[in-house]
Amino acid sequence: MPSDFSIDADWNALHIDGEWTASESGDTLAVEDPSTRETVVDVPAGTNADVDAAYEAAADAQEEWAETPPAHRQAVVQQFLQALDAHSEEIVDLLAHEVGGSPLMGETSIQIASDHASEAATLPRRMKGEHADSNIPGKENLVQREPKGVVTVISPWNFPLNLSMRAVAPAIAAGNSVVLKPSTNSPITGGLLFAKLFEETDLPDGVINVVTGKGSDIGDRVAGHPESDVVSFTGSTSVGQHVAGLAGENLAIPAMELGGNNAFVVTDDADLDRAIDAATFGSFVHQGQVCISINRHVVHEDVYDEYVERLTERAEALQTGSAHDEDTVIAPIIDESQRDQMLEFVEETVDAGATLETGGGTVQMEGVEDSLLVEPTVLSDVTNDMSAACNEHFGPIAPVIPFSDVDEAVEIANDTEYGLSGAVHAGDLEVAKDIADRMETGNVHINDQPINDEAHVPFSGTGDSGMGTYNSDAFLHEVTETKWISIQHDHRDYPI
């Protein structure tokens, strides 16, 4: 008998108003394991009617949930955290089957998701108002913080567990209800899993609702639903612009984390041992399918050749294979469209004059006709306008760009419409801090790599990388609003 949290469990139901229900159409979507290219489970193909039912349930449940004492809301999130921990091994396995997550990716997802849930559990007691003096004699001003209402969460496929968690958990902790629409590629770990985990808590029916389905079928209805008060979206910039536009039509608050083209700057006096360690992780973890991974290595010309040689050696040493192999570091890409796009970027970059140091193709897998396993790839002699550098390649690809001085490094780093994350390695911390200050991006990490997320530290992007801020009090402010109540204690004299 399979566990309720295994890939062999029944995932073919939506979760609306506390009930597992079939989609109105009865249609399903197949979920393919990237390692085997086989269908491992079917999930419902939700309809607009299903979306409407989810928002109706969320709106009906929210008011009572908002009035629940903070200690109880805190306890529910803590119960969720306990359920997450209890089922962590099964969830790591789900991530392997659904998104090709290696064991490292799965364990990292659990750690980050747990951090976000732990932080969210503190929010109910931090929803404090304030008292403000008045310019009017005898008046008292009170400012209360209240939940927005219904929060829409549209989550991505690359890190579905923690990128759903960072919005769902704080939204619920703050007294909102949620409608969760996961990516078509990750309907379980980005969506239906949350409903099952919350079933092990005291969360009332209707506070969490999950609708799976194709974005092309129900995405617009989810993003633009009139019952929605906040729309949290993580994904590409082009789709995010569309989602934000639909949210804005209903005056819903858009919280968007979008694309990135993150620069990893290495100066001539950097500790190359540390820099190469960071570069290897920052480029190749989860096959580079991370919005805050290294997209461009910007390296001083004096250490450029050594850097390329050492990064190439590290890339070639990485273990490739099935996500179900505990030794695998580089597992398959999510699907063929992503694979073909990133390989096209590599081909165009080589055609433009770059040197392919290693990789650039796929690795055949036993029993798999059309492998999604892309070789770890290093490109040298790259310029910022080449395809693998100017586009978010979202793969295990490391384009290395030379620079001659700090001003040029900053110019290269900022020569993009994106501004999500970045990193600097330098022996002189004052120089590193100067570069970090001048990089036009929401996050910069000195003597580290750009893949960092701590739930108690604000996380945001600039430019085409999004709007709004996640984590800590910053996201609490996204999913709550202030209400001014004044009390006129003494008789007030009016001019008429």
Active site positions, annotated: 257, 291
| Residue 26: Cβ within 10 Å count | 9
Interaxial angle between packed helices 70-86 and 88-99, expressed in degrees from 0 to 180 and rounded to the nearest 10: 70
Strands 130-132 and 139-147: antiparallel
- Tokens for 376? 């770890």
Give the DSSP per-residue string, 233-279. Answer: EES-HHHHHHHHHHHHHTTPEEEEE----EEEEE-TTS-HHHHHHHH
Dist CA 242 CA 228 (whole Å): 16
Give the type of residue at 230.
Answer: V
> Long-range pairs for 273-279 at CB < 8 Å and ≥24 separation?
274/425, 274/447, 275/307, 275/425, 276/307, 276/310, 276/311, 276/314, 278/423, 278/425, 278/447, 278/448, 278/449, 279/311, 279/314, 279/398, 279/449
Dist CA 29 CA 47 (whole Å): 12
Dist CA 165 CA 113 (whole Å): 6
